Structure 1
Amino acid sequence: MKYTIGLTGGIASGKTTVTNIFENFGINIIDADKIAKQVVSPKSDALEEIKKKFGNKIIKDNELNRALLRKIIFKDKSAKMWLESLLHPIILEQVVKDISLSSSPYCILSAPLLFEANFQKLTKRNITVLTTMTSQVNRVIKRDNVDLIQAKAVISNQLSNKMKIRLSDDIITNNSNLKNLKNKVLSLHIQYQQFSRI
Protein backbone atom coordinates (compact mmCIF):
# COMPACT_ATOMS: atom_id res chain seq x y z
CA MET A 1 0.00 0.00 0.00
CA LYS A 2 1.23 3.49 -0.91
CA TYR A 3 2.56 5.52 2.06
CA THR A 4 -0.54 7.58 2.89
CA ILE A 5 -0.91 10.60 5.15
CA GLY A 6 -4.38 11.39 6.50
CA LEU A 7 -5.31 15.05 6.68
CA THR A 8 -8.29 16.43 8.56
CA GLY A 9 -9.47 19.48 10.48
CA GLY A 10 -12.63 21.26 11.47
CA ILE A 11 -14.82 23.03 8.95
CA ALA A 12 -13.13 26.15 7.50
CA SER A 13 -9.82 25.39 9.23
CA GLY A 14 -7.84 25.69 5.98
CA LYS A 15 -7.60 22.06 4.84
CA THR A 16 -7.95 22.99 1.17
CA THR A 17 -5.17 25.59 1.41
CA VAL A 18 -2.88 23.01 3.02
CA THR A 19 -3.67 20.29 0.46
CA ASN A 20 -3.07 22.81 -2.35
CA ILE A 21 0.41 23.45 -0.95
CA PHE A 22 1.15 19.71 -0.81
CA GLU A 23 -0.15 19.41 -4.37
CA ASN A 24 2.21 22.18 -5.49
CA PHE A 25 5.05 20.01 -4.14
CA GLY A 26 3.92 17.28 -6.56
CA ILE A 27 1.98 15.19 -4.05
CA ASN A 28 -1.19 13.36 -5.11
CA ILE A 29 -4.27 14.35 -3.11
CA ILE A 30 -7.12 11.92 -2.59
CA ASP A 31 -10.07 14.12 -1.60
CA ALA A 32 -12.77 12.14 0.26
CA ASP A 33 -15.19 15.09 -0.06
CA LYS A 34 -14.93 15.07 -3.87
CA ILE A 35 -15.38 11.30 -3.92
CA ALA A 36 -18.42 11.67 -1.62
CA LYS A 37 -19.98 14.00 -4.20
CA GLN A 38 -19.17 11.64 -7.08
CA VAL A 39 -20.83 8.62 -5.43
CA VAL A 40 -24.17 10.46 -5.20
CA SER A 41 -24.08 11.80 -8.77
CA PRO A 42 -27.30 11.65 -10.83
CA LYS A 43 -28.50 8.08 -11.57
CA SER A 44 -25.96 6.55 -9.13
CA ASP A 45 -27.11 3.60 -7.02
CA ALA A 46 -26.39 5.55 -3.84
CA LEU A 47 -28.58 8.47 -4.93
CA GLU A 48 -31.43 6.07 -5.71
CA GLU A 49 -31.14 4.57 -2.21
CA ILE A 50 -31.20 8.06 -0.66
CA LYS A 51 -34.29 8.92 -2.71
CA LYS A 52 -36.03 5.73 -1.52
CA LYS A 53 -35.23 6.62 2.09
CA PHE A 54 -36.11 10.33 2.11
CA GLY A 55 -38.50 10.69 -0.84
CA ASN A 56 -38.44 12.80 -4.02
CA LYS A 57 -38.03 16.04 -2.02
CA ILE A 58 -34.36 15.08 -1.55
CA ILE A 59 -33.78 15.55 -5.31
CA LYS A 60 -33.50 19.02 -6.82
CA ASP A 61 -32.79 19.54 -10.54
CA ASN A 62 -31.95 15.80 -10.83
CA GLU A 63 -29.27 16.17 -8.17
CA LEU A 64 -29.06 15.55 -4.44
CA ASN A 65 -30.50 18.46 -2.46
CA ARG A 66 -27.52 18.73 -0.13
CA ALA A 67 -28.91 21.62 1.90
CA LEU A 68 -32.06 19.65 2.74
CA LEU A 69 -30.10 16.46 3.47
CA ARG A 70 -27.80 18.40 5.84
CA LYS A 71 -30.86 19.73 7.69
CA ILE A 72 -32.35 16.24 8.01
CA ILE A 73 -29.23 14.51 9.32
CA PHE A 74 -28.38 17.46 11.56
CA LYS A 75 -31.67 16.94 13.43
CA ASP A 76 -31.96 13.14 13.16
CA LYS A 77 -29.05 11.00 14.37
CA SER A 78 -30.55 7.74 13.07
CA ALA A 79 -30.83 9.28 9.57
CA LYS A 80 -27.18 10.38 9.83
CA MET A 81 -26.12 6.86 10.84
CA TRP A 82 -28.13 5.34 7.99
CA LEU A 83 -26.53 7.70 5.46
CA GLU A 84 -23.02 7.02 6.75
CA SER A 85 -23.53 3.23 6.66
CA LEU A 86 -24.62 3.59 3.01
CA LEU A 87 -21.93 6.00 1.79
CA HIS A 88 -18.78 5.28 3.81
CA PRO A 89 -18.10 1.79 2.34
CA ILE A 90 -18.61 3.12 -1.23
CA ILE A 91 -16.33 6.10 -0.57
CA LEU A 92 -13.74 3.84 1.09
CA GLU A 93 -13.63 1.54 -1.94
CA GLN A 94 -12.90 4.49 -4.26
CA VAL A 95 -10.33 5.94 -1.84
CA VAL A 96 -8.43 2.62 -1.80
CA LYS A 97 -8.49 2.54 -5.60
CA ASP A 98 -7.19 6.13 -5.86
CA ILE A 99 -4.42 5.46 -3.32
CA SER A 100 -3.26 2.45 -5.38
CA LEU A 101 -3.07 4.68 -8.49
CA SER A 102 -1.02 7.40 -6.77
CA SER A 103 2.36 8.08 -8.41
CA SER A 104 3.93 10.52 -5.90
CA PRO A 105 6.39 9.38 -3.16
CA TYR A 106 3.50 9.49 -0.69
CA CYS A 107 -0.09 10.67 -1.01
CA ILE A 108 -2.46 12.72 1.12
CA LEU A 109 -5.93 11.45 2.01
CA SER A 110 -7.90 14.60 2.80
CA ALA A 111 -11.02 13.69 4.77
CA PRO A 112 -13.06 15.90 7.11
CA LEU A 113 -14.39 12.66 8.68
CA LEU A 114 -11.01 10.90 8.69
CA PHE A 115 -11.48 9.52 12.21
CA GLU A 116 -15.28 9.34 12.30
CA ALA A 117 -15.33 7.21 9.12
CA ASN A 118 -12.34 5.14 10.32
CA PHE A 119 -10.35 6.08 7.19
CA GLN A 120 -7.22 6.31 9.36
CA LYS A 121 -6.89 2.53 8.97
CA LEU A 122 -5.47 3.37 5.52
CA THR A 123 -2.92 5.91 6.76
CA LYS A 124 0.57 5.75 8.28
CA ARG A 125 0.39 9.21 9.87
CA ASN A 126 -2.32 11.81 10.36
CA ILE A 127 -2.35 15.60 10.30
CA THR A 128 -4.93 17.88 11.89
CA VAL A 129 -5.20 21.45 10.58
CA LEU A 130 -6.18 23.85 13.35
CA THR A 131 -7.26 27.46 13.43
CA THR A 132 -8.91 29.67 16.04
CA MET A 133 -12.62 29.28 16.75
CA THR A 134 -13.13 32.93 15.75
CA SER A 135 -11.54 32.33 12.34
CA GLN A 136 -13.60 29.19 11.83
CA VAL A 137 -16.86 30.91 12.74
CA ASN A 138 -16.15 33.93 10.53
CA ARG A 139 -15.18 31.75 7.56
CA VAL A 140 -18.28 29.54 7.90
CA ILE A 141 -20.57 32.60 8.11
CA LYS A 142 -18.99 34.13 5.01
CA ARG A 143 -18.61 30.91 2.98
CA ASP A 144 -21.96 29.25 3.74
CA ASN A 145 -24.02 32.42 4.20
CA VAL A 146 -25.30 31.38 7.64
CA ASP A 147 -25.72 33.28 10.91
CA LEU A 148 -23.54 33.04 14.02
CA ILE A 149 -25.77 30.48 15.78
CA GLN A 150 -25.84 28.17 12.74
CA ALA A 151 -22.07 28.48 12.24
CA LYS A 152 -21.37 27.56 15.87
CA ALA A 153 -23.84 24.66 15.70
CA VAL A 154 -22.11 23.20 12.62
CA ILE A 155 -18.69 23.45 14.30
CA SER A 156 -19.88 21.94 17.60
CA ASN A 157 -21.43 19.01 15.71
CA GLN A 158 -17.98 17.87 14.54
CA LEU A 159 -15.40 15.77 16.36
CA SER A 160 -13.65 18.10 18.81
CA ASN A 161 -10.22 19.52 18.04
CA LYS A 162 -9.01 18.01 21.32
CA MET A 163 -9.90 14.52 20.09
CA LYS A 164 -8.46 15.17 16.60
CA ILE A 165 -5.16 16.30 18.18
CA ARG A 166 -5.07 13.16 20.32
CA LEU A 167 -5.52 10.96 17.24
CA SER A 168 -3.01 12.87 15.06
CA ASP A 169 0.76 12.62 14.67
CA ASP A 170 1.25 16.12 13.26
CA ILE A 171 -0.55 19.42 13.83
CA ILE A 172 -0.58 22.38 11.43
CA THR A 173 -1.78 25.60 13.03
CA ASN A 174 -3.25 27.91 10.42
CA ASN A 175 -3.33 31.17 12.40
CA SER A 176 -0.67 33.13 10.57
CA ASN A 177 0.13 34.15 7.00
CA LEU A 178 0.43 31.97 3.90
CA LYS A 179 4.24 32.10 3.93
CA ASN A 180 4.39 30.58 7.41
CA LEU A 181 1.84 27.95 6.41
CA LYS A 182 3.91 27.01 3.34
CA ASN A 183 7.03 26.65 5.52
CA LYS A 184 5.18 24.33 7.93
CA VAL A 185 3.93 22.19 5.08
CA LEU A 186 7.40 22.12 3.45
CA SER A 187 8.92 20.88 6.71
CA LEU A 188 6.39 18.02 6.88
CA HIS A 189 6.80 17.29 3.16
CA ILE A 190 10.56 16.72 3.65
CA GLN A 191 9.85 14.39 6.60
CA TYR A 192 7.19 12.42 4.73
CA GLN A 193 9.47 11.90 1.73
CA GLN A 194 12.04 10.37 4.09
CA PHE A 195 9.44 8.22 5.88
CA SER A 196 8.07 6.90 2.58
CA ARG A 197 11.52 5.52 1.67
CA ILE A 198 11.86 3.48 4.89
Structure 2
Amino acid sequence: MVYKVGITGGIGSGKTAATDYLANTKQIVIVDADVIARQVVEPGTSTLLAIVDHFGEQVLLENGTLNRQYLRQLIFNSPAEKKWLESLLHPLIRQQIIAELKQATSAYAVLVSPLLFETDQHLLVDRTLLIDVPESVQIDRACQRDNMTKEQAQRILATQMSQEEKQQRADDIINNQGSLQQLYAQLDQLHQQYLGFAHHD
Protein backbone atom coordinates (compact mmCIF):
# COMPACT_ATOMS: atom_id res chain seq x y z
CA MET A 1 0.00 0.00 0.00
CA VAL A 2 1.27 3.44 -0.90
CA TYR A 3 1.78 5.91 1.96
CA LYS A 4 -0.87 8.64 1.81
CA VAL A 5 -0.79 12.28 2.88
CA GLY A 6 -3.94 14.39 3.04
CA ILE A 7 -3.56 18.10 2.31
CA THR A 8 -6.25 20.57 3.28
CA GLY A 9 -6.77 24.28 3.86
CA GLY A 10 -9.53 26.82 3.42
CA ILE A 11 -10.22 28.89 0.31
CA GLY A 12 -7.22 30.95 -0.77
CA SER A 13 -4.80 29.06 1.49
CA GLY A 14 -2.54 27.89 -1.34
CA LYS A 15 -3.40 24.18 -1.60
CA THR A 16 -3.02 24.28 -5.39
CA ALA A 17 0.38 25.99 -5.22
CA ALA A 18 1.52 23.30 -2.79
CA THR A 19 0.23 20.32 -4.76
CA ASP A 20 1.47 21.71 -8.09
CA TYR A 21 4.94 21.97 -6.58
CA LEU A 22 4.87 18.39 -5.26
CA ALA A 23 3.54 17.08 -8.58
CA ASN A 24 5.94 19.01 -10.81
CA THR A 25 9.18 18.91 -8.82
CA LYS A 26 8.80 15.74 -6.75
CA GLN A 27 6.66 13.69 -9.19
CA ILE A 28 4.13 12.94 -6.46
CA VAL A 29 0.71 11.66 -7.58
CA ILE A 30 -2.02 14.11 -6.55
CA VAL A 31 -5.60 12.93 -6.10
CA ASP A 32 -7.84 16.01 -6.06
CA ALA A 33 -11.22 15.63 -4.32
CA ASP A 34 -12.53 18.75 -6.08
CA VAL A 35 -11.72 17.33 -9.52
CA ILE A 36 -13.39 14.04 -8.60
CA ALA A 37 -16.42 15.94 -7.26
CA ARG A 38 -16.80 17.52 -10.71
CA GLN A 39 -16.26 14.22 -12.55
CA VAL A 40 -19.01 12.36 -10.70
CA VAL A 41 -21.63 14.87 -11.91
CA GLU A 42 -20.52 15.19 -15.54
CA PRO A 43 -23.25 15.08 -18.22
CA GLY A 44 -24.41 11.53 -18.81
CA THR A 45 -23.68 10.29 -15.29
CA SER A 46 -26.47 8.70 -13.29
CA THR A 47 -25.54 11.09 -10.47
CA LEU A 48 -26.35 14.15 -12.56
CA LEU A 49 -29.66 12.55 -13.59
CA ALA A 50 -30.51 11.96 -9.93
CA ILE A 51 -29.74 15.61 -9.11
CA VAL A 52 -31.93 16.87 -11.99
CA ASP A 53 -34.65 14.45 -10.93
CA HIS A 54 -34.54 15.84 -7.41
CA PHE A 55 -34.05 19.58 -7.99
CA GLY A 56 -35.54 20.02 -11.47
CA GLU A 57 -34.12 21.08 -14.85
CA GLN A 58 -33.10 24.51 -13.56
CA VAL A 59 -29.97 22.96 -11.95
CA LEU A 60 -28.55 22.54 -15.47
CA LEU A 61 -26.81 25.18 -17.55
CA GLU A 62 -27.73 25.52 -21.23
CA ASN A 63 -24.86 23.22 -22.22
CA GLY A 64 -26.20 20.42 -20.01
CA THR A 65 -23.63 20.75 -17.24
CA LEU A 66 -24.44 21.31 -13.59
CA ASN A 67 -25.15 24.90 -12.58
CA ARG A 68 -22.99 24.86 -9.47
CA GLN A 69 -23.75 28.39 -8.44
CA TYR A 70 -27.49 27.79 -8.53
CA LEU A 71 -27.11 24.52 -6.64
CA ARG A 72 -24.88 26.18 -4.06
CA GLN A 73 -27.55 28.82 -3.42
CA LEU A 74 -30.19 26.11 -3.08
CA ILE A 75 -28.36 24.06 -0.50
CA PHE A 76 -26.97 27.13 1.26
CA ASN A 77 -30.50 27.99 2.33
CA SER A 78 -31.69 24.46 3.04
CA PRO A 79 -29.89 22.10 5.44
CA ALA A 80 -32.18 19.23 4.37
CA GLU A 81 -31.30 19.64 0.67
CA LYS A 82 -27.62 19.94 1.55
CA LYS A 83 -27.84 16.69 3.46
CA TRP A 84 -29.60 14.96 0.54
CA LEU A 85 -26.92 16.10 -1.92
CA GLU A 86 -24.04 15.13 0.37
CA SER A 87 -25.47 11.66 0.99
CA LEU A 88 -25.61 11.18 -2.79
CA LEU A 89 -22.18 12.61 -3.64
CA HIS A 90 -19.87 11.84 -0.73
CA PRO A 91 -19.91 8.02 -1.05
CA LEU A 92 -19.25 8.28 -4.81
CA ILE A 93 -16.43 10.76 -4.34
CA ARG A 94 -14.95 8.58 -1.60
CA GLN A 95 -15.02 5.45 -3.82
CA GLN A 96 -13.23 7.27 -6.60
CA ILE A 97 -10.62 8.74 -4.21
CA ILE A 98 -9.85 5.26 -2.85
CA ALA A 99 -9.52 3.87 -6.39
CA GLU A 100 -7.14 6.66 -7.49
CA LEU A 101 -5.00 6.45 -4.35
CA LYS A 102 -4.65 2.70 -4.90
CA GLN A 103 -3.33 3.29 -8.42
CA ALA A 104 -0.71 5.83 -7.32
CA THR A 105 2.82 4.82 -8.24
CA SER A 106 4.82 7.65 -6.62
CA ALA A 107 6.87 7.36 -3.40
CA TYR A 108 3.79 8.52 -1.53
CA ALA A 109 0.45 9.87 -2.74
CA VAL A 110 -1.37 13.09 -1.84
CA LEU A 111 -5.10 13.52 -1.43
CA VAL A 112 -5.97 17.22 -1.59
CA SER A 113 -9.39 18.11 -0.25
CA PRO A 114 -10.84 21.33 1.16
CA LEU A 115 -13.18 19.20 3.31
CA LEU A 116 -10.64 16.60 4.42
CA PHE A 117 -11.78 16.64 8.05
CA GLU A 118 -15.43 17.56 7.46
CA THR A 119 -16.13 14.54 5.23
CA ASP A 120 -13.98 12.02 7.14
CA GLN A 121 -11.67 11.77 4.12
CA HIS A 122 -8.80 12.12 6.62
CA LEU A 123 -9.52 8.48 7.48
CA LEU A 124 -8.30 7.53 3.99
CA VAL A 125 -4.77 8.89 4.60
CA ASP A 126 -1.86 8.14 6.93
CA ARG A 127 -0.96 11.72 7.73
CA THR A 128 -2.54 15.16 7.34
CA LEU A 129 -1.06 18.52 6.37
CA LEU A 130 -2.85 21.83 6.82
CA ILE A 131 -1.86 24.77 4.61
CA ASP A 132 -2.63 27.58 6.98
CA VAL A 133 -3.13 31.31 6.42
CA PRO A 134 -4.93 33.92 8.51
CA GLU A 135 -8.59 34.42 7.63
CA SER A 136 -7.98 37.96 6.38
CA VAL A 137 -5.46 36.63 3.82
CA GLN A 138 -7.89 33.89 2.73
CA ILE A 139 -10.61 36.47 2.12
CA ASP A 140 -8.30 38.77 0.14
CA ARG A 141 -7.03 35.91 -2.04
CA ALA A 142 -10.49 34.46 -2.66
CA CYS A 143 -11.81 37.87 -3.70
CA GLN A 144 -8.93 38.39 -6.13
CA ARG A 145 -8.93 34.89 -7.56
CA ASP A 146 -12.63 34.06 -7.76
CA ASN A 147 -14.06 37.57 -8.11
CA MET A 148 -15.98 37.05 -4.90
CA THR A 149 -17.24 39.79 -2.66
CA LYS A 150 -15.89 39.92 0.86
CA GLU A 151 -19.29 38.80 2.15
CA GLN A 152 -19.36 35.73 -0.11
CA ALA A 153 -15.88 34.72 1.00
CA GLN A 154 -16.81 35.19 4.66
CA ARG A 155 -19.96 33.10 4.18
CA ILE A 156 -17.96 30.23 2.70
CA LEU A 157 -15.49 30.41 5.56
CA ALA A 158 -18.33 30.37 8.04
CA THR A 159 -19.58 27.03 6.69
CA GLN A 160 -16.15 25.39 6.97
CA MET A 161 -14.52 23.96 10.05
CA SER A 162 -12.70 26.65 12.06
CA GLN A 163 -8.96 27.15 11.52
CA GLU A 164 -8.39 26.38 15.22
CA GLU A 165 -10.06 23.00 14.94
CA LYS A 166 -8.16 22.16 11.74
CA GLN A 167 -4.90 23.16 13.44
CA GLN A 168 -5.64 20.80 16.31
CA ARG A 169 -6.49 17.91 14.01
CA ALA A 170 -3.66 18.24 11.46
CA ASP A 171 -0.42 16.31 11.93
CA ASP A 172 1.63 18.95 10.09
CA ILE A 173 1.01 22.64 9.47
CA ILE A 174 2.57 24.94 6.88
CA ASN A 175 2.18 28.66 7.38
CA ASN A 176 1.64 30.08 3.91
CA GLN A 177 1.59 33.78 4.65
CA GLY A 178 4.92 34.43 2.99
CA SER A 179 6.33 33.98 -0.51
CA LEU A 180 6.11 30.92 -2.75
CA GLN A 181 9.79 30.33 -2.03
CA GLN A 182 8.99 30.05 1.69
CA LEU A 183 6.13 27.66 0.93
CA TYR A 184 8.43 25.48 -1.21
CA ALA A 185 11.13 25.41 1.46
CA GLN A 186 8.63 24.08 4.00
CA LEU A 187 7.34 21.54 1.49
CA ASP A 188 10.89 20.36 0.77
CA GLN A 189 11.36 19.54 4.44
CA LEU A 190 8.04 17.73 4.75
CA HIS A 191 8.68 15.85 1.50
CA GLN A 192 11.84 14.36 3.02
CA GLN A 193 9.89 13.44 6.14
CA TYR A 194 7.12 11.78 4.13
CA LEU A 195 9.66 9.83 2.07
CA GLY A 196 11.04 8.55 5.37
CA PHE A 197 7.59 7.51 6.59
CA ALA A 198 6.76 5.88 3.25
CA HIS A 199 10.02 3.98 3.36
CA HIS A 200 9.31 2.55 6.81
CA ASP A 201 5.67 1.85 6.14
Q: TM-score, normalised by structure 2?
A: 0.96
The 3-state SS of whatever aligns with 1:11 is: coil
Correspondence for 2:133 among 109, 131, 134: 131
Measured after TM superposition, the shift of residue 146 of structure 1 is 2.3
Measured after TM superposition, the shift of residue 168 of structure 1 is 0.6
Quote the residue 1:5 is aligned against: 5
Aligned residues: 198
Quote the residue 1:53 is aligned against: 54
Answering whether residue 12 of structure 2 is matched by residue 15 of structure 1, we say: no
Correspondence for 2:94 among 87, 92, 95: 92
Residue segments in structure 1 that go unaligned for 5+ positions in a row: none
Residues 41-88 of structure 1, C-alpha deviations (whole Å, 9 max, x = no match): 001011011111110000112000001011111111111111111011
Matches of 1:148 and 1:94, distance apart in 2:
34
Matches of 2:99 and 2:152, distance apart in 1:
36
C-alpha RMSD of matched pairs (Å): 0.9
The 3-state SS of whatever aligns with 1:64 is: coil
Matches of 2:79 and 2:146, distance apart in 1:
22
User: Could you tell which deviates more after superposition, 165-174 or 132-141?
Assistant: 132-141
Correspondence for 2:155 among 148, 153, 157: 153
Measured after TM superposition, the shift of residue 117 of structure 1 is 1.1
Quote the residue 2:27 is aligned against: 26
Matches of 1:146 and 1:33, distance apart in 2:
19
Q: Which runs of 4+ in 1 moved over 4 A?
A: none
Matches of 2:170 and 2:113, distance apart in 1:
13
Letter in 2 for 1:37: R
Letter in 2 for 1:36: A
Quote the residue 1:190 is aligned against: 192
Letter in 1 for 2:50: E
The 3-state SS of whatever aligns with 1:127 is: strand
Matches of 1:59 and 1:70, distance apart in 2:
13
Quote the residue 1:107 is aligned against: 109
Matches of 1:177 and 1:152, distance apart in 2:
24
